[in-house]
Amino acid sequence: MRIFGFAGRWLAGALLAISLSGLCMGAAAREQRVPLKNGILHIADLSAAVCHEMDLPGFSLASGDVAMNSPQGAQLIDAVNLTLGQAGHLSVDGNALLLRVDPDKLASRCDELARATRVLAAAASPDATLRQAKRWGLFVPTSIDPNRPLIILIHGIDSDRGMLVPLADLLTHEGNQVGFFSYAGDQPIDDSAASLAQKLADLRALYPTLRVQIVAHSMGGLVARDYIEGPAYVGGIDRLIMVGTPNAGSSWSKLRFILSIQQHYNLWRNDPDWSPSWYVTEGVGEAGRELAPGSPFLKKMASLPRRPGVSYTAIAGTQHPASRISSECCEGMAGWFSGRVGNWWGFRQCKNGLKSAAYYYRHDTGESDGPVTVASAKLAGVDDLVLLPADHIALFLPIDGHPPVAWEAIRARAGK
pLDDT single digits (tens) 368-392: 888 899 999 999 999 999 999 998 9
Residues 159 and 212 in one domain: yes
How confident is the model at residue 4, as a pLDDT? Answer: 41
Mean pLDDT calculated for residue range 59-86: 68
Same domain, 67 and 120: yes
Range 218-229 average pLDDT: 97
DSSP for 281-333 reads HT-SSHHHHHTSTT-HHHHHHHHPPPPTT-EEEEEEE-S-HHHHHHHHHHHHH
Structurally, how many domains does the chain consist of? 3
Domain that holds residue 358: 321-362
Decide if 158 is inside a domain.
yes
pTM recorded for the entire structure: 0.70
Q: Does 192 share its domain with 262?
A: yes
Q: What is the CATH number of the domain that holds 247?
A: 3.40.50.1820
Of 103, 126, 149, the residue at which a domain comes to its end is 126
Please tell me the predicted confidence (pLDDT) of residue 65.
76
Beta strand pairing call for 177-182 and 137-139: antiparallel
Residue 74 has pLDDT above 60, yes or no: yes
Q: Is residue 251 part of a domain?
A: yes
Q: Is residue 161 part of a domain?
A: yes
Whether 341 and 308 map to the same domain: the answer is: no
pLDDT band (50, 70, 90) for residue 235: very high
Asked if residue 340 and residue 297 are part of one domain, the reply reads no
Roughly how many angstroms between the first and final C-alpha of the chain, as a whole number? 54
Residue 57 falls inside a structural domain: yes
Q: What is the average pLDDT across 186-195?
A: 91
Is 1 a member of any domain?
A: no
How far, in Å, CA of 116 to CA of 129, rounded? 15
| Residues 261 and 294 occupy one common structural domain | yes
Same domain, 230 and 325: no
Determine, yes or no, domain membership for 176. yes
Domain shared by 218 and 311, yes or no: yes
Residue 82 has pLDDT above 80, yes or no: no
Statement to judge: residues 25 and 99 lie in one domain? yes
Whether 265 and 329 share a structural domain: no
Per-residue pLDDT band at 272 (split at 50, 70, 90) = confident
Q: Verify that 168 and 120 share a domain, yes or no.
A: no
Domain edge (last residue) among 69, 92, 126: 126
> Quick one: the chain helix, strand, coil %, rounded to 5?
50, 15, 35
Q: Which helix (H) or strand (E) holds 386?
A: strand 385-388
Distance of alpha carbon 312 from alpha carbon 314, whole angstroms: 7
Same domain, 230 and 371: yes
Q: Which range (90-94, 237-241, 324-328) has the least confidence? A: 324-328
Task: Tell me which of 91, 126, 161 is where a domain ends.
Answer: 126
Query: Has residue 105 been placed in a domain?
Result: yes
Q: Does the residue 89 lie in any domain?
A: yes
